[in-house]
Amino acid sequence: MALVKEKKQEKDSEKLTEKKSDKPVAKLAVQGEEKVRAELAKGSKVSIISLVDAMIESAFKSRASDIHMDPEESRVRVRFRIDGVMHETYELPKGIQSEISTRIKVLSGLRTDEHQAAQDGRFRISIKGDGGAFVDIRVSIVPTYYGENVVMRLLAEQAGVFNLEGLGFVGKDLEKVKRAVTKPYGMILATGPTGSGKTTTLYTILKILNTPEVSIVTVEDPVEYAISGIDQIQVNPRTNLTFAKGLRAILRQDPNIIMVGEIRDEETAGIAVNAALTGHLLLSTLHTNDAPTAFPRLIDMKVEPFLIASTVNVVIGQRLVRRICLHCKVEKQPSEGELKSLSEILPPEALKGKMVFYVGKGCKACDESGYLGRVGIHEVMEVEDEIRDGIMHRANADEIRTIAVKNGMTTMIQDGFSKVLEGLTTVEEILRVIHE
């Protein structure tokens, strides 16, 4: 059901994108388009197998993270999510809709005679030729009024390329994360909505921690990247292996470092805090909008404030924004609209003096979108005495934030704005993710 919720958020963010962006997101020249079009041109002689393969290959080559197939009254709309933004890519005839979903069900080992229930599965395909790779694909099929809605998430084997600097951690934030990583026990929490890159941040930290001297175990839903040297357990509702049950099992093996994919219920929260209290370094994510909200959220999950105060080392809040394409980047003057929007979210002193912004004009390398790749914007909150005091007194998120800022925390918006001034991203992007 999580995917259904995710889908709704996507719809919302999409609306925002359309409103905020002056470039239309609807049309985009995707890679590998010829093959798909050639197959569709065969009309009634279309090979469903080749068509599905061609669409997946096209998505992979366009760097898409998801393929959405939405059935409508008279067609099936196919959209790719690239750098976090949805793009309309193909339109399939209504007549082949059920054959397409049957093919995807066969690939992912799902029941082809089931049309009324939601099903989840996965499969792996190899993309041949230049830039070929194995791609794991997670599939979610949900029945809708016009037929089955299919979402495929492409999980490429790319965990190896990340480091903290590459994710966009800079200056004090980078130091704070590095400091938290050297502590032998306690909690490191990453927060943000779905698709904010928090799991990637934790994987990157795990890679730093992954040395032969320590044992690391994770319980995840799903296991997104395989890391050698780490025992990774997949949550499985069918066998009743939940985060909480997985975590209990892990603790019996007494590893040094544990990663729990997400803390979303009281039971998991309780076990996680206890693990951190008894000498383990525990990494996890919380689905909150920002770092300070992590504490009230844990209290909502019935964790005692003094336990939170004595276990949490650091909370990272984050979002992902698109990077300006380096191949077509040009300077631009801030528009009045941008300055007005910025004045609503930044202190006046941040907007003094002459500023230069940047923008991607659009080129072949970025498929005319002006963006290529993504970078994180962060706020890193270290739990020091004053914050600890606030937690003990059940301070709300705003109060915690005020203390953190007074003691030098850079907020996510400030970090984003400094990345605008550095020419890494645009004001448009910052506003898009902040308002999501």
Q: Which of 74, 76, 88 is nearest to 26 (CA)?
A: 88
Residue 359 in contact with Zn ion, rule: CB under 5 A? no
Please, which residues have CB within 8 angstroms of residue 118's CB and are 6 or more apart in sequence?
Answer: 1, 4, 140, 141, 142, 143
- What is the nearest approach in angstroms of Zn ion to the Cβ of residue 84? 17
**Site size for Zn ion (CB under 5 A):** 7
CB 151 within 8 A of CB 8: no
Closest CB to Zn ion among residues 68, 329: 329
Closest CB to Zn ion among residues 22, 349: 22
Residue 325 in contact with Zn ion, rule: CB under 5 A? yes
Map residues 207-226 to x or -, x wherever contact with Zn ion holds by CB under 5 A.
--------------------
Closest CB to Zn ion among residues 313, 369: 369
With contacts defined by CB under 5 A, name the span among 72-80, 249-257, 302-310, 321-329 that binds Zn ion. Answer: 321-329
Q: Which of 309, 410, 432, 322 is nearest to 372 (CA)?
A: 322
- What is the nearest approach in angstroms of Zn ion to the Cβ of residue 207? 30
Q: Tokens 């898009």 belong to which residue?
A: 432
Q: Which of 366, 404, 424, 431 binds Zn ion (CB under 5 A)?
A: 366
- What is the nearest approach in angstroms of Zn ion to the Cβ of residue 329? 8
Q: Output the DSSP codes for 300-320.
A: HTT--HHHHHHHEEEEEEEEE
With contacts defined by CB under 5 A, name the span among 38-46, 63-71, 202-210, 364-372 that binds Zn ion. Answer: 364-372
Q: Output the DSSP codes for 375-411.
A: EEEEEEEE--HHHHHHHHTT--HHHHHHHHHHTTPPP
Closest CB to Zn ion among residues 261, 360: 360
- What is the nearest approach in angstroms of Zn ion to the Cβ of residue 376? 21
Could you give the CA distance from residue 408 to residue 46 in angstroms, rounded to a whole number? 61
Closest CB to Zn ion among residues 35, 61: 61
Structure tokens at 216: 């690391």
Residue 82 in contact with Zn ion, rule: CB under 5 A? no
Residue 28 in contact with Zn ion, rule: CB under 5 A? no
Helix (H, G, I), strand (E, B) or coil at 195: coil
Could you give the CA distance from residue 389 to residue 386 in angstroms, rounded to a whole number? 5
- What is the nearest approach in angstroms of Zn ion to the Cβ of residue 119? 39
With contacts defined by CB under 5 A, name the span among 129-137, 155-163, 318-326, 348-356 that binds Zn ion. Answer: 318-326
Q: Strand (E) positions, 73-229?
A: 75-82, 85-93, 119-127, 133-144, 147-156, 186-191, 216-220
Q: Which of 48, 363, 392, 403 binds Zn ion (CB under 5 A)?
A: 363
Closest CB to Zn ion among residues 249, 365: 365
Please, which residues have CB within 8 angstroms of residue 268's CB and are 6 or more apart in sequence?
Answer: 242, 243, 244, 247, 260, 262
Closest CB to Zn ion among residues 62, 311: 62
Q: Which of 327, 345, 397, 434 binds Zn ion (CB under 5 A)?
A: 327
With contacts defined by CB under 5 A, name the span among 17-25, 73-81, 162-170, 327-335 that binds Zn ion. Answer: 327-335
Residue type present at position 200: T
Q: At residue 77, what are phi and psi to the nearest 5 degrees?
A: -90, 130
Residue 328 in contact with Zn ion, rule: CB under 5 A? yes
Structure tokens at 32: 């590998």
Binding site for Zn ion (CB under 5 A): 325, 327-328, 360, 363, 365-366
